[in-house]
Structure 1
Amino acid sequence: MSIWWSLHLRREAASVPLARRLLLGTMETAGVDPDVSYDLSVALSEACANAVEHGGSAGHGGSSEAYRVTAYLDGEMCRIEVADSGPGFARVQAVRPAPGEAEHGRGLCLIEELADHVHIGSEPGCGGAVVSFDKMLKWREDAPLMAV
């Protein structure tokens, strides 16, 4: 069983819980273990918050007012991708934890802790950041859409 969806959201703080609730609802309906669902929803919230905060600039026109979230549940794996139209990453470095007292800078580290595999890069050819992450799924015993 495969499920996928894609959202185009405005770069507004209110879009973050919307994406999170859709992901949690999808995984609950499919029968994904609640602990796995929670980890992925926190990682998604961090990626969306980054897109809202950093995902646009005046030089990118109207498209900088939106970002895209795509989620794939396919067999035993979930992949989530958050892409924006901002300046992207000049070069991808290893994600380093922010100092303990820092108010910002922990999101990407948290995503790496919660997911099994993380890719951070830029949209080919058009700029913009892309954060994608995968996690192996665990299923509830009564899962209606459990992978076979």
Structure 2
Amino acid sequence: MSIWWSLQLRREAASVPLARRLLLGAMEAAGVDADISHELCVALSEACSNAVRHGGGHSENYQVTASIHGDVCRIEVTDSGPGFPADAFLARPEPRELQQDGRGMRLIEALADRVRFDNQPGSGGAVVTFDKVLKWREGALLRAS
């Protein structure tokens, strides 16, 4: 069994906890381990906060898509802002060297098993995609066989 959901949210600070609560509810209902659920929610909060802060452009909204297939949860946050600069990921400073911007992306990288930062082709806008291998509670509803 698998689940999939998608949200279109306004670029407002209040949308971040809403997305987090919806993800947490889905994880709890599916039977995902609480520690894994917490890590996913923190990573989602960072991605959504970036979309709210930097995702301006031709839309006042951003989109969150989440899915569970087997033992992997994939989350994608897409906005319509200017996207990531072409050289954004060439120089990877150590955490102690990071300034105000960029820490959220490093946190997502630390919490997820696979992360991709891209730009939407043509229209612009950032796309943050991350995967996390799930652990399940005893009796979980979606546990892969």
TM-score range, shorter chain: over 0.9
After superposition, where does 1:40-79 map in structure 2 within 5 Å? 40-57=40-57, 60=58, 63=59, 65-79=60-74
1:102 Cα offset (Å): 4.0
Q: Tell me, yes or no, if structure 1 residue 117 matches structure 2 residue 100.
A: no
Task: Provide structure 2 residue ranges, at least 5 long, that are not aligned to the other structure.
Answer: none
- Counterpart Cα distance in 2 of 1:133 and 1:75: 15
1:104 positional shift:
3.9
TM-score, scaled relative to structure 2: 0.92
Tell me which residue corresponds to 2:24.
24
Matching residue's letter, 2:139: D
**Higher alpha-carbon deviation: 86-95 or 73-82:** 86-95
Letter in 2 for 1:81: E
AA aligned to 1:136 is V
Runs of 4+ in 1 over 3 A off after TM superposition: 94-104
Indicate the residue corresponding to 2:89 in structure 1.
93
Instruction: Give the distance between the partners of 2:122 and 2:40, measured in 1 at CA.
Output: 28
Give unmatched runs, 5+ long, in structure 1.
Answer: none
Q: Secondary structure at the match of 2:137?
A: coil
The one-letter code sitting in structure 2 at the alignment partner of 1:93 is F
Does residue 147 of the first structure (1) align with residue 132 of the second (2)? no
1:98–1:105: 8 Å Cα contact kept in structure 2?
no
Measure, in 2, the Cα distance between the counterparts of 1:120 and 1:15: 21
Over the matched positions of the two proteins, sequence identity in percent amounts to 65
CA distance in 2, matches of 1:6, 1:40: 16
Equivalent position of 1:5 in the other structure: 5
Deviation at 1:90, TM superposition (A): 2.7
Distance 2:105 2:93 in 1: 9
Give the alignment's TM-score, normalised by structure 1.
0.90
Q: CA RMSD in A?
A: 1.6
Q: How many residues align?
A: 143
